[in-house]
Each structure stands twice: as structure tokens, then as C-alpha cells.
Amino acid sequence: MEDDLLSLFERERCVLARADYGYEVAAPAGWAEADLERAPFQEAAGQASAGQGLLVRSSGLLLGWSKTRSAPELWGSLRTLARRGPLLLLCRFPRHAQELQSRLKAAGLPHALWETQPSGEVPPLYRRLPPGSELRRLHLRYEWATGLAAARGGVALRRVAFLLAEAAPMTVPALARSLGLTSGAARSYARWMEEAALVRRAGSSLELRHPLLAELFRKPPPAETTSAPQERAWNPIELD
């Protein structure tokens, strides 16, 4: 875990951490850990004993549960957990982080925010995988598919991705002209993709979140073809 992330617990009992795909956030030694994709929140809440830190992965799922009648009990449980020991809520998408911040504030739960910055660098996970390997491509597909599922706009965002893979960085007006859309519509597409950690802003331009995502949308190079040697016609004069 990043040292600057741990240092936030010196002033807050609850920290909301947002990490892009491919960035590992490990629980410190002695902490309990729960993943809301694998266990319900009630089970996760019982993982940590008094004074013990708790890392809750996939905390964006709390937003779905917060729409139920038991929402007050849910946020009350988070306040209780933060009083018992350090509480780290981990999510991936900027959109979820913004909504979680609003919910935590409304619930009266002081917290700090930590994020991986969209610098355009290749995430550590991909740097450990062999270039061109099937495993790396599977991770890229998973990153894109899960980001697309979390974004508004659906498959229309693929058109943006194809353009950015070939011609990034692009400004929003240039994107609008290429897509045949108004600047307002192109701006909405860009915002939705940014909220799902699929693109990043580089000044006034847009590009895919990191360079390797472009591999999913670029046309493969033409295959090399070797023509079979042609048989030379017999010349009767050469037979003498």
C-alpha cells in the first residue's frame, strides 16, 4: 500500500481510496479484508475486531444497497466500523468515488480521499505481463468491458475508443466532428468515459486511460504473404 495512503489515517479513521485497474492496494499486516463482490456487507462488517483495521474492496457496491430501506442502518454500520478501527473503502471508478463521498458526508462520517492519478502510465499489472501475451490481452478486455458496464452511453463509447486509439490526443470539438455529433454530445461521451476510468484528460485533449488500451481498437497489421514460386515454362530449345 502507498505510504501516502497510510498516512491519511493519522487524521481520519475512514479513507476512501480509488485505484485504476492494474494498481494493487494491499491490506497492511494485521488488517482484516473483505470483498463485497464475494460476500454481503453484513459479513464484511463482522470481519474486523475492535481496534483492527478493515479493508473493504468493491465498495462501489454500497451505492446499490444504499437505495434500499436499510440504507440508514448501512451507513450507521460504517460509522461504527470507523470508530472501532481504521476503515479503508476501496473502489475503482471516479463516478463511484464521487457518489460515495456524497453519501459519507451525508451520513456524518468524516473521511479522506486518496486516488491513483491518471498520468497515462502503463499500470503496474501490465508491466509484469509479457508483451503480446494472451493473459495481458484478457486483462485489457476485462478492464474495458467492466469500465464500459459502469459507464453511461453503452456501446456508443466504442466509437470514441476507436478514434482515440488511432488519433489521440483529440480535443472535444475534433471528436465531435469525427463522430458527426454536436460538441455537447461529444462532451457528454467524454465525461462518461472519464467517470468510468476509460479515458483521461491531457490538457484540453482526451486520450485513452493508458496506451495499452489502444491495442484493443487498432487494426491488426496486414499479414505477410509469401507467394509460391512459379514454375518456369519449359523451353524446347533448352532440352537440347
pLDDT digits (tens, 9 = 90+) for 160-189: 999 999 998 999 999 999 999 999 999 999
Enumerate residues 6+ apart whose C-beta is below 8 A from 24: 124, 125
Going along the chain from its start, the domains and CATH numbers come out as 3-115 (3.40.50), 124-216 (1.10.10.10)
The stretch 210-236 carries a mean pLDDT of 69
Packing angle, helices 183-195 and 172-179, rounded to 10: 110
pLDDT band at 64 (very low <50, low <70, confident <90, very high): confident
| pTM score, whole prediction | 0.85
DSSP 114: E
The stretch 204-224 carries a mean pLDDT of 85
Which of 53-67, 70-84, 213-227 is the least confident region? 213-227
Cα-Cα-Cα-Cα dihedral sign, residues 69, 71, 76, 77:
positive
Question: What ranges in 132-211 are assigned the alpha helix state H?
Answer: 134-150, 157-167, 172-179, 183-195
Nearest-angstrom CA–CA distance, 6 and 170: 37
